[in-house]
Amino acid sequence: MDIGMIGLGPMGGAMARSLMRAGHRVSVFNRSADKIAALVRDGATAAASPAAAANGDAVITMVANDAAVEAMVTGPSGIVAGMRTGCVHVAMSTMSVALADRLTEIHTAAGQAFLSVPVLGRPPAAEAGKLFLMAGGAADRIEAMRPVFDALGQRLFVVGERPSQANLIKLCANFMIFSTIEQLSEVFALAEKGGVAPEAVFEILTESFFSAPVHKNYGRLIVDKAFDPPGANVHLAAKDTRLILQAAESLAVPLPFASILRDRFLATEARGEAELDFAVISRRAAEDAGL
């Protein structure tokens, strides 16, 4: 298929390469041009604008935040203005439920197809085509995009007909990750103060009932204090936590654990550690315990 890829950060770049390896033709666009050259060397075509990248069978957006998505979608050279008839906009970055609803309206009003398909997984999984994908939108549209999703992920979950439902579940998954970090951080602090090394606790937990990737990956980061360079930094996680709380607020759902995470992220920003990996919030439980 002919795919436009907008956003060439670590995730978007890896996804573009996975698509090309699977035989798709990929045209790429990025706000800062320097990342385009590398992809062109790998076989991609440079698109002059978001609109130009939307001239094929699908255009994927994988950018930093809500504002960046909106910048790519709107305006005279944006996706909506330039989308070819038959092209589908597949929004894959983490964004707010509210924005996903707004994009749905915009594309629908323009008679265009829109899917929201956020992913679980970091850049190495994107490179290996091993992401988990959560798809929201019309079932037949999702089915038609199967070749694209197969190239990117190990598993596709169809969430619901409303595109934003996929974003809600993606935010739930991130909330699971963040709160697992807090769980583990409290446990490590308690065990360490009781004389049991975090490494030993890590082994006991991850080799018994707590053996999920979320436990192993983030538990490892915390035990090793491996926060620099970050896989994803505190700013990003704090932003996602804000999106979770906003979604919960508009649905009138109290989330006590999420409120604690919010405070952990704010305290971490206040201490000037916001550029580190978000697992660094484990320092808060440790500090509060006097470690």
Question: Using CB under 8 A, which residues numbered 255 to 284 contact a second copy?
Answer: 255-260, 262-264, 266-267, 269-272
Phi, psi of 198 (to 5 degrees): -50, -40
Q: Which is nearer to a second copy, 108 or 257 (CB)?
A: 257
Please report whether residue 190 would count as binding a second copy according to CB under 8 A. yes
Residue 199 makes contact with a second copy by CB under 8 A: no
Of the candidates 62, 99, 142, 168, which one interacts with a second copy according to CB under 8 A?
168
Q: Least separation, in Å, of the C-beta of 271 and a second copy?
A: 6
Contact 157, 134 (CB under 8 A): yes
- Minimum CB separation from a second copy for residue 91, in Å? 17
Comparison of 76 and 194: residue with beta carbon closer to a second copy:
194
| Tokens linked to 69 | 């998505």
Least distance between a second copy and beta carbon 13 (Å): 22
Tell me which residues in 64-123 interact with a second copy (CB under 8 A). 97, 120
Pick the closer one to a second copy by CB: 18 or 27. Answer: 18
- Choosing from 61, 96, 183, 233, the residue that interacts with a second copy (CB under 8 A) is 183
**In the set 205, 221, 276, 280, which binds a second copy (CB under 8 A)?**
205
Q: Binding residue for a second copy (CB under 8 A) from 8, 214, 243, 276?
A: 214
Q: Residue 220, interface with a second copy (CB under 8 A)?
A: no
- What's the closest the beta carbon of residue 61 comes to a second copy, in angstroms? 22
Q: Which two tokens stand for residue 21?
A: 């390896």
Q: Is the dihedral of CA 142, 24, 17, 100 positive or negative?
A: negative
Question: Please, which residue, 226 or 255, has the CB nearer to a second copy?
Answer: 255
Q: Which residue has the tokens 């509060």?
A: 288
Q: Tell me how far, at minimum, the Cβ of 145 lies from a second copy, in Å.
A: 18
Q: Is 216 an annotated catalytic residue?
A: no
CA-based nearest residue to 283, from 241, 245, 228: 228
- Cα dihedral 84, 88, 91, 97, rounded to 10, equals 110
Catalytic residue among 130, 170, 193, 239: 170
CA separation for the pair 199, 51 (Å, rounded): 51
Residues in contact with 207: Cβ distance below 8 Å, sequence separation at least 6, in sequence order = none
Task: Pick from 84, 180, 231, 275 the residue near a second copy by CB under 8 A.
Answer: 180
Site for a second copy in 235-254 (CB under 8 A): 242, 244, 247-249, 251-254
Q: How far is the CB of 74 from a second copy (least distance, A)?
A: 21
Of 201, 221, 222, 237, the one binding a second copy (CB under 8 A) is 201
Site for a second copy in 126-165 (CB under 8 A): 132, 134, 155, 157, 159-160, 162, 165
Catalytic residue numbers?
Answer: 170
